[in-house]
Structure 1
Amino acid sequence: MMEKMPSDQEFLDFTVRALVDNPDAVKTSRKVDEMGVLLMLTVDPNDMGKIIGRNGQTAKAIRSLLRVVGIKNNARVNLKIEEPEGGRGPRAPREDRPAGMGGESRLPRDEAVPRVMRDVDFLI
C-alpha cells in the first residue's frame, strides 16, 4: 500500500500535474531539516517553461501558494525546481541577445502601422 504524501507535497504534485503536458513525468520529493521543509520538483524538460513561466511568474506563484500551505501547517516550505539533464543553461544578458527577443519592435511604432495597412491593402 502506498504511503500518503504530506499535504504540502501532495498540493505541489496536484498543482504541477494540472499545469504540464506530461503529468506522468512529474516527480516530487520532500526533505525536512532545521531550516524547514524543502520540496524538490522534477518535470519533463519540455514542461520547464510552463513551470517557470514568463519572467518566473508561475514559479513565484507556486512558491507563494506553498508558503500559505506551510503557514497553515506551521512549517517553512521552500521549493527547488530541479534543472533537467542537458538544460538550456543560463540566459544571455539582455544586450547580448539578438534583436526581437526583448519584446521591442523592429520598426518604430508610427512606421509599423502604415506597413501593415499596405500589406492588408495588397490582399484585398
Structure 2
Amino acid sequence: MKKLIEAIVKPLVDFPDEVRVDVAEERDRIVYKLSVHPDDLGKVIGKNGRMAKAIRTVVYAHAAATEKKKTYLDIQ
C-alpha cells in the first residue's frame, strides 16, 4: 500500500524525495500518514480537496480488496 500511495503522489509534487508514508497499525485499523514538503501540500490536497479525495478513493478501493482492517489515509 505504501508503494501505491507513493506512486500516486510522487509525480504530482515538486519535491518527490520528501514524500514519506508512515504506517500506524492498530488492533482494528491501519493508518497511512502521508507527509510531503510544505510547498507541495496544496498540490496534494488540490482545489476544494478534490485531489486528496481522489487519492483516498483509490487507496480505500485497493484496501477494501486487499486489507482485512479498516484503512485510513492521513495527509499532513
Which structure has greater helix proportion?
Answer: 2
Match of 1:23? 16
- TM-score between both structures, scaled by the size of structure 2: 0.90
- Larger C-alpha radius of gyration, 1 or 2? 1
How many residue pairs end up in the alignment? 75
Share of identical aligned residues, percent?
32
List per-residue Cα deviations over 1:37-68 (Å, max 9, x = no partner): 10001100110110000000000111111111
Which structure has greater strand proportion?
Answer: 2
RMSD (Å), alpha carbons: 1.1
1:74 Cα deviation (Å)?
3.1
Are 2:72 and 1:81 aligned? no
- TM-score between both structures, scaled by the size of structure 1: 0.57
- Structure 2 gaps of 5+ residues are none
Match of 2:55? 62
What letter corresponds to residue 49 of structure 2 in structure 1? G
- Structure 1 gaps of 5+ residues are 1-7, 83-124
List per-residue Cα deviations over 1:7-41 (Å, max 9, x = no partner): x1110011110111110011111111133110001
Distance across 2 between alignment mates of 1:34 and 1:19: 32
Structure 2 SS opposite 1:34? coil
Highest RCO, 1 vs 2 (Cα 8 Å, sep ≥ 6): 2
Distance across 2 between alignment mates of 1:41 and 1:26: 7
Q: Kindly report structure 1 stretches of 4+ aligned residues shifted beyond 6 Å.
A: none
Structure 1 SS opposite 2:33? strand
